[in-house]
Amino acid sequence: MHWIDPACLPETRGRVTQFLLNKHGELDGLVLDHERQVHFPPHLSKQVAKHIAPGDTIRVRGVKPRDADLIAAVSLMSKQGVEILDEGPNHDAPKHEKPEGRPMDVQGEVVLSLYGPKGELRGALLDDGTSLRMPPHAAAELIDYLSPGAHVQAWGHGVKTRHGRTLEVHEIAELVDADESA
């Protein structure tokens, strides 16, 4: 999206409540005010981590897909006024080791459906802050499990970093007795 002039895009302001991670543990999004997902490409991960922290009020310019409450960011402005602009990936940058996922299982209540940059359903955010991630074709078939209010247990390979935890879902099930244990 580096060809889009961010100055011509609508601006959204909000407080960062948490970061979102891709399956490699890189930042690829954040949540504003507990309710709106902002997606950015993982090549911006280091810049975002350096200039933005949970609790910061930031400004985002980007596009909103038709069918998702999501902003695909073209630029992010930190509370200190540092602009993080998507100029596309730097293909000359040295490749860094991506952490290997390890077997993990999680359970909890879905508080937010998660989308890819074009508005395709890609997973869910649980009440403990864990991101569940899966390919769009799988997510489309599992929409009931990925909608706010659903109580689920999921298994797969996960990554935990100082910024959060994400699980690449291999299996998912509804927690039938979730209401009884609450």
**Mean pLDDT by 10-residue block, N- to C-terminus, for the chain (182 residues)?**
81 97 94 96 95 98 93 97 89 64 95 96 97 96 97 96 95 79 51
Give, in words, the CATH class of 9-85: mainly beta
pLDDT at 11: 96
pTM above 0.95, yes or no: no
109, 57 contact by CB (below 8 A): no
C-beta neighbour count of 117 within 10 angstroms? 20
Coil, helix or strand at residue 128: coil
- 36/114 Cα distance (integer angstroms): 9
pLDDT at 176: 79
Q: Tell me if domain 9-85 and domain 102-181 are identical in fold.
A: yes
pLDDT at 96: 59
Q: Are strands 130-133 and 164-174 parallel, antiparallel or unpaired?
A: parallel
- 176/174 Cα distance (integer angstroms): 6
The structural domains of the chain, with segments of one domain joined by +, span 9-85, 102-181
CATH number for the segment(s) 102-181: 2.40.50.140
pLDDT at 67: 86
